Amino acid sequence: MQHSKPHKSWKDQLHEIIYEADTPSGKLFDVVLLIAILASILLVMLESVKSIDAQYHTFLNISEWIITVLFTIEYVLRIITVRKPIKYITSFYGVIDLLSTIPKYLSLIFAGTHALIALRALRLLRVFRILKLARYLGASNHLASAIKSSRAKISVFLFAVLIAAVIFGTIMYLVEGEESGFTNIPKSVYWCIVTLTTVGFGDIAPVTPLGQFIATIIMILGYGIIAVPTGIVSAEYTKKANDDLKSGPIPPHPNEPIVHLNSQCCANCLNEKHVDGAEYCFKCGCKLHHDK
Amino acid sequence: MQHSKPHKSWKDQLHEIIYEADTPSGKLFDVVLLIAILASILLVMLESVKSIDAQYHTFLNISEWIITVLFTIEYVLRIITVRKPIKYITSFYGVIDLLSTIPKYLSLIFAGTHALIALRALRLLRVFRILKLARYLGASNHLASAIKSSRAKISVFLFAVLIAAVIFGTIMYLVEGEESGFTNIPKSVYWCIVTLTTVGFGDIAPVTPLGQFIATIIMILGYGIIAVPTGIVSAEYTKKANDDLKSGPIPPHPNEPIVHLNSQCCANCLNEKHVDGAEYCFKCGCKLHHDK
Amino acid sequence: MQHSKPHKSWKDQLHEIIYEADTPSGKLFDVVLLIAILASILLVMLESVKSIDAQYHTFLNISEWIITVLFTIEYVLRIITVRKPIKYITSFYGVIDLLSTIPKYLSLIFAGTHALIALRALRLLRVFRILKLARYLGASNHLASAIKSSRAKISVFLFAVLIAAVIFGTIMYLVEGEESGFTNIPKSVYWCIVTLTTVGFGDIAPVTPLGQFIATIIMILGYGIIAVPTGIVSAEYTKKANDDLKSGPIPPHPNEPIVHLNSQCCANCLNEKHVDGAEYCFKCGCKLHHDK
Amino acid sequence: MQHSKPHKSWKDQLHEIIYEADTPSGKLFDVVLLIAILASILLVMLESVKSIDAQYHTFLNISEWIITVLFTIEYVLRIITVRKPIKYITSFYGVIDLLSTIPKYLSLIFAGTHALIALRALRLLRVFRILKLARYLGASNHLASAIKSSRAKISVFLFAVLIAAVIFGTIMYLVEGEESGFTNIPKSVYWCIVTLTTVGFGDIAPVTPLGQFIATIIMILGYGIIAVPTGIVSAEYTKKANDDLKSGPIPPHPNEPIVHLNSQCCANCLNEKHVDGAEYCFKCGCKLHHDK
């Protein structure tokens, strides 16, 4: 069907614009969508401020409707241009796209907007779809891999921090008691994490000398062990950078990822992560479009 | 006695299940025990919340009894299957196991449960026994050794922090005086550590201009010196990783520890830390069981 | 005109003193100017303290006039000694210099000094002009380049932190509600950043158990991800230091920057950043003065 | 005079005990002195707690007199055993030793003990004399040199932080105004440092939306730039460790400093820092005593 480049169906052309970011029109679409998403988030935030909502209610309402209509059009186009609509609709992003579109329609039926904010806030998750753009920054590649290989170690570390928080939390509950605000063990553990992470709200604070002494130990512990995750990421990152230097010839563009994944999305199976220059989808074998 | 593999006594088989984590049944036992310990901790936490305790008192009480019975059975089995019960009973984990089992029985005699919470909280220490499982994550080996070799330096650093806290605490006591909440030197030193570690509860805060100026110095000091432990761990960790790279041929599975300690536990002397493939306990010479 | 060294016009000599820091008189001028700027900032700060202003009003007023006159003289001299005054006046520092001089004159016309503080505070920006002196410390060269190459990664990181803050802020708004101080989403996001960055003012704090549980997650997240920017800068800095070690022969003075930029400033086009030993401005070709 | 080892005068023997830590008796003296200093600090701290002072006044008073008498004896012995008493008395530690001894005597003449606490707190400075013992830990050598070479960079960094604090402090003063607690610019700058360093007391917190927005920027800035000092120390420390690995043959005891300074102190000129095995003081040429 799509063998000859110049004669593409309008569906394929739309697919390219909506699902891919390699072509100028595809990039433009993504940027417009990103702005629309950020604007919709801003609207949710502003609407929650009572004084602003009271003054600009009509403006916010109209803007919300404009964005809802835009999202509806986008959702419909996504269903039309994809070859397997059911697969898209039931996919993670398909559900998110739907849920971030319908709250305004639901508000026509149900009066209380408060409960629908949770749904509207889901729009933020759509940002991650656009963030494939971030790949082009070519910046966070070593970083991502350093974080990935640090994950197991940091999990072990955080588990140890949690155990320490539970132990110290129980001790503080027994030492300080209810009159100081340490009303139960979960609250005491909460306070302990507030202290260990050096956040220190001060909504609860020890008042007895012994409690303050134990708090001192917790704080110094928290201050000392922050070195651990930092040291891990720092060392992993240094290692990644060193490995990169050693591994054979220096890559032509040192800022680019070594395996350059492009932003193409198969029109058939919605599979992404195609290697640069791929002609066919590596999952379903369907032909990919590219104009580069 | 245990020379032929197929004919093991039930005691030996139980020993393998309870004390070792190499066999499937041993691993299962450890996982079940871990869940029981975490559930028992959760019970202690929930019971301390007045509103929950009032509503679900019977449920919490029954759950507590079930776990207490489970712990009792485990404790008895541990005594039976080990060859030197006295050694186990008087060992660190033996005492912890007993202390985490008896509080519920004691609550039958003594009415006040509050004082027994401290004993029940000791159950958390049992987690560390199970954490030998964490060895199989193969993640925290470099980390542990990096922390170990940083220990002396971090101690010197923390000692210097403590001296600074005492000096600045005394100065703040003299500058701010009692009306600002700096009622005595220990409290002032406590505030100083709260500030140095960047926790900053705000329960006590300087009010005089001079006090705020000194507080500024303390904060910048605390903000600056957090670099020191971080730098130490980071550098040590990098060094460990480098040493590993240089030391002879690259190990086949770079994520595995170089000396693979297994989780076997000698049935005679309770000695652990046997090297993989060890046939006899390196301490008492007694034969070890393994089915691998 | 300036071909023979001994016969320089007074304009050129003044230019050398005011715009360059290589000669003793130029350095002296910069140090005096730095002291004047810091003194002027101190005056603005002290004047804002009501009790001090009430007691020492006349002294502060006279000092402010002395510094204003000094800044006026400096501004006039800068215009006279430069060859293209319009270029200087419309340059960034030219505007800053003017704006930091006129507030006191304006206070003669307008009575309310409060609004003019903003203008006077702009004087602080003049410090950055003097900070070219910092180059002679020879200290922050690797550091600056490490920060520069970390910029993109840290931006991506901060963007991710912001998204997390918006998501968690919306959740906290829905969970905690208005009675806990989470009156609207922007405020809730503000609280979320206060918590993620481990600042923890405590002006708003969660009170419901679920809110405190989510706060715990936010805090541990904030405590864990601080490792990321630290790891980046640390690794980049190590890399810069390593690159420096490898690149050809060891420089004669390891503490000096490799390309030694001097502090000369072209009298014609105000261009700075001339390489050491440069005879002519690399932008306009005009002869540079130096006595070294 | 002291040519033959066995026949030392009692003065020389005392000098060796008091001023040096190489001999067993010298080490013992230092440990006893350290305990006495720590006890004296503890006494100052406990005395400041009203409830403890009321209950144990006599005990604290007697303990204070015992320690004062011990310090007096030590002070007199130090004067006697040194060859140039005037030099010791006028030296830094000589003055500290005197000042930490006399407060109790002065309290006989002057009734108000409060003012004398400042003098007594000076005793803490004596700890640094004993801390030459820390050298024997052999731990903080790389660390000290890493901190030393990071000093200039960290100073530049802290200066930049201070400028940022003044700029943001002035902005917050203008934005928030006096009703939010930002009563004057110094206080506003103080708040800004509290926020930048992620301490966050919460005694002052922004209440206007714009103020909270600027606070968000300050917090993210503070959270991001903590990476800078950490990166510096981390990289410097890694560099020191690497330099050490490369420099010729591996030292026999890698934990020992390369130039082993001993704790001997010249009896004539009080000069310390003699190289191990030194026979004569490198400053005054006087013979040193050692029994090793």
Given phi > 0 = left and psi -120 to 50 = alpha, else beta, which region is D276?
Answer: beta
Q: Does A41 touch chain C (CB under 8 A)?
A: yes
Note whether D150 and D222 are same-domain residues: yes
DSSP category for residue D226: T
In chain B, the N- to C-terminal Cα span, in Å, equals 19
Top-confidence range, A93-107, B223-237, D100-114, D256-270: A93-107
pLDDT of residue C269: 59
Q: What is the pLDDT of chain B when averaged over all its residues?
A: 75
Segment 76-95 of chain B within 8 Å of chain A by CB? none
Inform me whether the C-beta atom of residue B201 falls under 8 Å from chain C C-beta atoms.
Answer: yes
Give the one of B166, B174, B224 whose C-beta lies nearest to D41's C-beta: B166
- B20 and B36 together in one domain: yes
Per-residue model confidence as pLDDT tens digits over C174-208:
888 888 889 888 999 999 999 999 899 988 899 99
Q: Does C229 touch chain D (CB under 8 A)?
A: yes
Secondary structure (3-state) at D280: strand
Beta bridge partners of D287: D280
Tell me which chain D residues have a C-beta less than 8 angstroms from the C-beta of A49.
209
Task: Report which DSSP code applies to D146.
Answer: H
- The amino acid present at A39, given as its one-letter code, is A
Measured in angstroms, the CA of C48 and the nearest CA of chain D are apart by: 5
Query: Is D234 close to B239, i.e. CB distance below 8 A?
Result: no
| Residue from the list A118, A127, A186 with its beta carbon closest to the beta carbon of C163 | A127
Last residue of a domain, one of A116, A138, A160: A138
Q: Which of D45, D229, D236 sits opposite B185 (nearest CB)?
A: D45
Q: How many CA atoms lie within 13 A of A39 on its CB side?
A: 17
C211 touches chain A (CB under 8 A): no
Identify all chain A residues contacting B187, using CB atoms and an 8 Å cutoff.
209, 212
| Same domain for A202 and A146 | yes
Q: Is C200 on the interface with B (CB under 8 A)?
A: yes
Residue D224 confidence class, pLDDT cut points 50, 70, 90: confident
C198 contacts A202? CB cut-off 8 A: no
CB D289 within 8 A of CB D12: yes
Residue D108 in domain: yes
pLDDT for C149 beyond 70: yes
User: Looking at residue D63, what is its pLDDT?
Assistant: 92
The predicted pLDDT at position B194 comes to: 93
Lowest mean pLDDT among A51-60, C49-58, D49-58, D136-145: D136-145
* pLDDT surpasses 90 at C107: no
Q: What is the ipTM of this complex?
A: 0.76
Q: Token pair for residue B109?
A: 């005699």
Please report, for the domain that includes residue D26, its CATH number: 1.20.120.350
Asked if residue A247 has pLDDT above 70, the reply is no
Question: For position B250, what pLDDT does the model report?
Answer: 40
Does some domain include residue D239? yes
Arithmetic mean of pLDDT, D145-150: 74
Task: Give the pair of three-digit tokens for residue C51.
Answer: 């009790």
- Note whether C16 and C120 are same-domain residues: yes
Confidence class for position C95, pLDDT limits 50, 70, 90: confident
Between D56 and B291, residue with greater pLDDT: D56
Distance separating alpha carbons of residues A273 and C183, to the nearest angstrom = 42
Q: Does residue A123 fall inside a structural domain?
A: yes
At B248, the pLDDT band (50, 70, 90 cuts) reads: very low
* Residue C66 Cα, gap to closest chain B Cα (Å): 27
DSSP letters along B34-84, please? HHHHHHHHHHHHHHHSHHHHHHHHHHHHHHHHHHHHHHHHHHHHHHHHSS-
By C-alpha distance, the chain A residue nearest D195 is A199
User: Cβ contacts of residue D39 below 8 Å, gap of 6+?
Assistant: D63, D67
CATH number of residue A235's parent domain: 1.10.287.70
The confidence score (pLDDT) of residue C257 equals 38
Q: Do A171 and B121 touch (CB under 8 A)?
A: yes
User: How far does B202 lie from chain C, in Å, by closest CA?
Assistant: 8
Residue B18 belongs to domain spanning: 10-138
Assess C48–A contact: CB distance below 8 Å, yes or no: no
Please compute the mean of the pLDDT values over residues D151-178 and round it to a whole number: 84
Do A154 and A79 lie in a common domain? no
Q: Check whether residue D67 and residue D169 sit in a common domain.
A: no
Q: What is the pLDDT of residue A6?
A: 54
Tell me, yes or no, whether C186 and C68 share the same domain.
Answer: no
CA distances to A193, B256, C175, D41 from C220, rounded to whole Å, are: 8, 28, 19, 37
Task: For residues B166 and D126, give the distance between their C-alpha atoms in angstroms, rounded to a whole number.
Answer: 13
Least confident of A145-154, B262-271, C69-78, C218-227: B262-271
Chain C hits for A234, CB-CB cut-off 8 Å, are: 227, 230-231, 234-235
User: What mean pLDDT is predicted for residues D53-78?
Assistant: 90
Residue A156 lies in a domain: yes
Query: Are A197 and A242 found together in one domain?
Result: yes
At A288, is the pLDDT very low, low, confident or very high (cuts 50, 70, 90)? low
Residues B227, B132, single domain; the answer is no
Return the partners of chain B (3 or more C-beta pairs < 8 Å).
A, C, D
Nearest CA in chain A to B48: A184
In eight-state DSSP terms, residue D289 is P
CB-CB contact of D149 with D241 (8 Å)? no
The token pair that represents B95 in the structure block = 């005492």
C-alpha–C-alpha distance, residues C22 and C26, integer Å:
6
To the nearest whole Å, the CA of C213 is away from the closest chain A CA by 7
A270 band by pLDDT with thresholds 50, 70 and 90: low
Q: Looking at residue B256, what is its pLDDT?
A: 37
Which of B205, B215, B231 is closest, CB to CB, to D233?
B231
Distance between CA atoms of residues D68 and A168, nearest Å:
39
> In terms of residues, how long is chain C?
292
The span from the CA of C238 to the CA of A236, in Å, is 13
pLDDT score for B258: 37
| Closest in C200, C202, C234 to B234, CB measured | C234
Burial bucket for residue D279 (CB in 10 Å: 0-12, 13-18, 19+): exposed
Residues A102-135: b if buried by 16+ CB within 10 A, e if exposed: bbbeebeeeeebeebbebbbbbbbbbebbebeeb
Domain presence at residue C4: no
pLDDT at B206: 92
- Which chains, if any, share at least 3 CB pairs under 8 A with chain A? B, C, D
Q: Which pLDDT value is given to residue D211?
A: 92
Helices (H), chain D: 10-19, 24-48, 50-81, 85-90, 92-99, 103-109, 114-121, 127-130, 141-176, 185-196, 209-225, 227-246
- The answer on B160 and B57 residing in a single domain is no
Question: Has residue C111 got a pLDDT over 70?
Answer: no
Domain assignment present for C217? yes
CA distances from A115 to A39, B37, B141, B253, C207 (A): 20, 38, 48, 51, 20
Shortest Cα distance from B10 to chain A (angstroms)? 35
Nearest by CB: A197 against C157, C209, C222 = C222
Q: Kindly report the average pLDDT of chain A as a whole number.
A: 76
CA–CA separation, B184 and B206 (whole Å)? 14
- What is the residue-averaged pLDDT of chain C? 75
How near does any CA of chain B get to the CA of C162, in Å?
Answer: 22
Cross-chain CB nearest to A200 (options D200, D234, D238): D200
CB contact under 8 A, C216 and A203: no
Report which listed range, A79-93, A236-250, B115-129, D144-158, is most confident.
A79-93
A202 vs D202: CB contact, 8 Å cut-off? yes
Query: Based on the domain organization, do A177 and A236 belong to the same domain?
Result: yes
Chain C neighbours, 3+ Cβ pairs < 8 A:
A, B, D
Total domains present in chain A: 2
pLDDT tier at D272 (50, 70, 90 boundaries)?
Answer: low
pLDDT(A140) > 90: no
Query: What integer pLDDT is reported at residue A216 of this predicted model?
Result: 93
The number of beta carbons lying within 10 Å of the beta carbon of residue D178 is 12
**Residue C164: its pLDDT value, please?**
86
Residues 6+ apart with CB under 8 A from D44: B170, B185, D117, D120, D121, D123
State the pLDDT at residue D264: 54
Residues ≥6 apart with Cβ < 8 Å to A21: A27, A30, A132, A133, A263
D275: in domain: no
User: Which residues in chain D have their CB less than 8 angstroms from residue B171's CB?
Assistant: 121
Q: Which residues of B touch D127 (CB under 8 A)?
A: 163
Q: Is residue C52 part of a domain?
A: yes
Residues B29 and B91 in one domain: yes
Residue at a domain's end among B105, B138, B171: B138
**Does residue C256 or residue C155 have the better pLDDT?**
C155
Q: Is C247 on the interface with A (CB under 8 A)?
A: no
Interface test with C, best of D228, D233, D243, D245 (most C CBs within 10 A): D228
Computed from CA positions of residues C238, C239, C244, C247, in that sequence, does the dihedral angle turn out positive or negative? Answer: positive
Does the CB of B233 have a partner CB in chain A at under 8 Å? yes
Cβ of B174 within 8 Å of Cβ of D118? The answer is yes
Residue C101 — pLDDT band, cuts 50, 70, 90?
Answer: confident
CA C3 – CA D95 distance, rounded (Å): 61
Per-residue H/E/C for chain C: CCCCCCCCCHHHHHHHHHHCCCCHHHHHHHHHHHHHHHHHHHHHHHHHCHHHHHHCHHHHHHHHHHHHHHHHHHHHHHHHHCCCHHHHHHCHHHHHHHHCCCHHHHHHHCCCCHHHHHHHHHHHHHHHHHHHHHHHHCCCHHHHHHHHHHHHHHHHHHHHHHHHHHHHHHHHHHHHCHHHCCCCHHHHHHHHHHHHCCCCCCCCCCCCHHHHHHHHHHHHHHHHHCHHHHHHHHHHHHHHHHHHHHCCCCCCCCCCCCCCECCCCCCCCCCCCCECCCCECCCCCCECCCCC
- Rounded to the nearest angstrom, the gap between the alpha carbon of residue D195 and the centroid of all alpha carbons in its chain is 27
Structure tokens at A157: 């570390």
- When pLDDT is averaged across residues D201-217 and rounded to a whole number, the result is 91
Q: Which of D184, D204, D210 to mutate to test binding with chain C, by most C CBs within 10 Å of its CB?
A: D184
Mapping DSSP to helix (H, G, I), strand (E, B) and coil, where does residue D120 land? Answer: helix
Q: Three-state SS for D283?
A: coil
Q: Is B287 helix (H, G, I), strand (E, B) or coil?
A: strand
Least confident of C222-231, C266-275, D89-98: C266-275
Domain boundary among A82, A104, A138: A138
